[in-house]
Structure 1
Amino acid sequence: MVRFYDFSGEYTIRIRGDYSFSFRNEHGTFSNTGGPMDFSQVDGILHIHLDNFFILGIACLCYFLGRWIKSEIKLLQDLSIPVPFIGGLPAAIIFACLKISKTAVIVLNPDLNALIFQFFLTMMALMGSWKLIKTGFVISIMFWSLAMVLGVLQALIGLTAAQALGLHQHLGLLMGTLSMMGGTETLTNFIPAVEHLDKFSGAAQAAMGVATLGMVCSMMVSAPMGEYLIKKYSLKNPSRSEFDNARLIRSIERSNKPFYQTHTVECIKIIAICFVCMAFSHLIKQKFLADVLIPDYTVCMVCALIARNFADTTGWFSVDGLALRTLTKIFLILFILVSTCALQLDLIFDLSAPIIAVFFLELIVNFLFARFIYFNLLGKDFRGMLIAVGGLAFSMGMAANGLSNMQSLCEKYGPNTDGFLVVCVVGLILLAISNTLLIKFLLTIF
């Protein structure tokens, strides 16, 4: 990086690895970009900005690494730890070691994962036929109510523990509902407000460290809890044969076209529907919900739910279940891979002992709540177990973690659309709205 000055201010020329460059001053930036990497020096430390293709390449390699590691370690198979997490964690550890040693900082583009996540959730919402929604309506309302109770409980535990340990009360709030149930996106939205109120530094970094630790732990304890419940109560999946091989073979034999041809058409149709839903949702968000603190994906999911039920009612187009399952699985795997690779594990090492103590107290409460409240009140069956697993995971980070743990269990015991849809609708639509209102309310009180 080269800097020089004139009377109009400071100029910076940044030369990249492919000999492209950027030219920046206080008036703006001119860039000549190209290549998979962008190198820069910040405070004497090399920053490597990876482009989207490079990130996806690393993520896909990590997926096959995760499959190999899981196939070699029986304990990981017995606990049903998700493959994307297993594969992405070594990359995150390497990136953290490079950063801690001040060798280099690997920067991943967050916009890529946000786009993948929107695609995945839009596809998940396309599963929401009115028939399926009616079937799971009561249990969804129960799950939502219980999740809101847990959100309040997380806030109270964080505030009480922070006060007992001599920490600031807003830091306790950040370590509770915002870092746990809120997830990183909600946390990012509210951290500037909290820091403005208190004028204390380090809140953002501490809260992100707690959220990162929560995401790691959620991927390590949720599916094992599901395995424990399956064995303890001898749970059977009633939907195991929903998409079995025999049914698929019969469907292929009845068709007068090659399977790959019809499957390709159905996949492209679903992608097209998703693009339309996402375009409409962004327009609605900009025109009518610009000042509302709800994630973009929530509006996407609502548009997709409307599109699916419009299709079912009018018959103008159809949504193929097998193609939808294929695409949702691919996008969920990609999202968890990139999210795991992007984990800032170095933030965990910066957490103080009192903050870590509060976190593990929250972890114990979340686990007990999922094990005894979610599971016992939501049926004590296979679906109730899946919802408890998903609820435990997203109560410590994000709903996608819960869905990944649920998918890992379903790969072994068979699919269960009901459980997935309940966690999606509650965790990503209803809780996205109610949790935002809860956090605003708590900030006004405390």
Structure 2
Amino acid sequence: MKTEIIEGILTLKVDMVSTLTLAILLLFLGNFLKKKVKFFEKFCIPAPVIGGLLFSIVALILKQSNVVNISMDITLQSPFMLVFFTTIGLGGSFALVKKGGVPLIIYWLLCCILAIMQNIIGVVAAKAVNLHPLLGVMMGSVSMEGGHGAAAAFGPVAEGLGIEGATTVAIAAATFGLISGGLIGGPIAKMLIDKYDLTPNEESKEKSKSYKEVAGIKDIGKVTSQMFLIQLAVISVCMSIGSLICDWIAKTGTVLPGYVGAMFVAVIFRNINDKLSIVKLDFYTIELIGDVALGIFLSMALMTLKLWELANLAGPMLIVVICQVVFIALYTIFVVFRFLGKDFDAAIMVAGMAGHGLGATPNAMANMSSVTEKYGHSTKAFLIVPLVGAFLIDLVGIPTIIWFINTFK
């Protein structure tokens, strides 16, 4: 670390290793605060979001007070992002899709429609309040269905196209969406269950296999150095091939985030490996690597937010994200619930979609758990929602985002 005077203010330049160290410490701080503050736990606010945002607020105060400006080296942010999205791709087994049956396909299609509509609403609403359309995309499925991960990944892409403050807007919208998804999911499901007098079916009462059990992901496992290296090698190879593909596509003039290629290569490898058994994939270890990478990536992305860029955007941005919340509430009640069969499972899946459609899959699980604790279990919902929310939606959602970015850049 070193200091110098830039534009009349003391600037602290934090090197790559120190930035990584700070990101990890803030991740621990976020975990600590999440356990201590009921609000964070209730709305499933991710630990890196808590720690990272807290630091970015402190950095904002220090900068605005002309005390010190903190500049950090985020070289390692991109590799951690690539690792996380590659692990998501390795979870994309088409065999699991078959286990979900027709309801899974319907739910998936409904999520795809939601992703498209969120981008349309974002662009239209942004234009209505005199914001650049790409900021509307950032407040569309990037931050809503995509959550903080996609917000932190696509924000720099938009900034690279000259849209100042895109990452900050996307992260802020994702945070608003995360809280909103936790607020409306349970009440909507409760309203539907009470209105139509819905009860769990016999299969759900027996609590058959969950998504993780079907997918072969164990809650506990023994991680050996050999097994860890094998999974890391698979992830690295997928990342390298994906990067080559993205570089080739970029030469055509199409904007494509680096992690997209890695994720889709991982999906292809996973399904080929399921047939040919090239290597032994340990999904507990892969999930562990993904969780660590996501935590550090998000912590690093949040702690380097330039919150002062929100000053002139806060009002218009609030209008756009409120439109998103109102739409998903109406969409889940009047469209999703009906297409899924208007039964108990459909009501629980509505709570799930409100959660991951505005925030993240853990938010969806929290919504569904809060409802099922009172009314009874839904096997179908706990299989389908995380399966779609965790990775299937990305197969359509990400290409949709890329199309909107390239259309309105």
| TM class by smaller structure | 0.7 to 0.9
Give the structure 1 partner of residue 399 of structure 2. 433
- Could you tell me how far 1:441 is from its partner in structure 2? 3.6
Q: Is the 8 A contact 2:11 2:69 kept in 1?
A: yes
Matches within 5 A, 1:80-119: 80-119=44-83
Distance 1:332 1:192 in 2: 22
**Structure-2 change in CA distance of 1:176 and 1:283 (3 Å):** closer
CA distance in 2: counterparts of 1:238 and 1:228, whole angstroms: 26
1:297 and 2:259 equivalent? yes
Q: Which moved more, 1:174-183 or 1:333-342?
A: 174-183
Code of the residue aligned with 1:150 in structure 2: it is Q
Match of 2:136 among 159, 167, 176: 176
* CA distance in structure 2 between the aligned counterparts of 1:184 and 1:435, rounded to whole angstroms: 14
- Cα distance in 2 for partners of 1:325, 1:420 equals 14
With the length of structure 1 as denominator, give the TM-score of the two structures.
0.70
Q: Deviations over 1:14-41 (max 9, x none)?
A: xxxxxxxxxxxxxxxxxxxxxxx24333
- 1:348-397 deviations in whole A, cap 9, x for unaligned? 2x21xxx433222212111122333247517435455334322213xxxx
8 Å CA contact 1:50, 1:108 repeated in 2: yes
Q: Partner of 1:422 in structure 2?
A: 388
1:161 equivalent among 129, 135, 148: 129
Matches within 5 A, 1:191-210: 204-205=164-165, 207=166, 209-210=168-169
Q: Any idea what SS the aligned residue of 1:102 has?
A: coil
**Residues 57 and 221 of structure 1, relative CA distance in 2, 3 Å threshold:** farther
Matched residue type, 1:371: A
TM-superposed deviation, 1:98: 1.4
Q: How far is 1:185 from its partner?
A: 5.2
Counterparts of 1:122-161 in structure 2 under 5 Å? 122-134=86-98, 135=100, 136-161=104-129
Partner of 2:356: 390
Q: Distance in 2 between matches of 1:358 and 1:238?
A: 46
Q: Which residue of 2 aligns with 1:368?
A: 326
Deviation at 1:101, TM superposition (A): 1.4
Tell me: CA distance 1:216–1:45, structure 2 relative to 1, closer, same or farther (3 Å). farther
Equivalent pairs, count: 367
Matched residue, 1:333: 295
What are the within-5 Å matches in structure 2 for residues 207-356 of structure 1? 207=166, 209-228=168-187, 242=212, 260=222, 263-290=224-251, 291-348=253-310, 350-351=311-312, 355-356=313-314
Partner Cα separation in structure 2 for residue 188 and residue 326 of structure 1: 26
Aligned sequence identity (%): 20
Secondary structure at the counterpart of residue 343 of structure 1 = coil
Change beyond 3 A, Cα 1:208–1:64: closer
Distance 1:389 1:108, change over 3 A: farther
How many angstroms apart in 2 are the aligned matches of 1:177 and 1:284? 24
Which structure dedicates a bigger proportion of its chain to strand?
1
Give, as a single letter, the amino acid of the residue that structure 2 aligns with 1:278.
M
Cα drift, residue 113 of structure 1: 1.7
CA gap 1:231/1:293 in 2 versus in 1, 3 angstroms:
same
Normalised TM-score (structure 2): 0.76
Cα distance change of structure 1 residues 80 and 93 upon mapping to structure 2, 3 Å threshold:
same
Q: As a proportion of its length, which structure holds more helix?
A: 2
Identify the residue that residue 147 of structure 2 maps to in structure 1. Answer: none
Residue 278 of structure 2 aligns to a residue in which SS?
Answer: coil
Moved over 6 A (4+): 234-238, 407-415
Question: Please, which runs of 5 or more residues in structure 2 have no aligned partner?
Answer: 143-150, 194-198, 341-345, 374-378
1:55/1:120 CA distance change after superposition, 3 Å = same
Q: Distance in 1 between matches of 2:24 and 2:408?
A: 41
1:22-37 pair list within 5 angstroms: 37=1
2: distance between equivalents of 1:190 and 1:66? 28
CA distance in 2, matches of 1:277, 1:117: 13
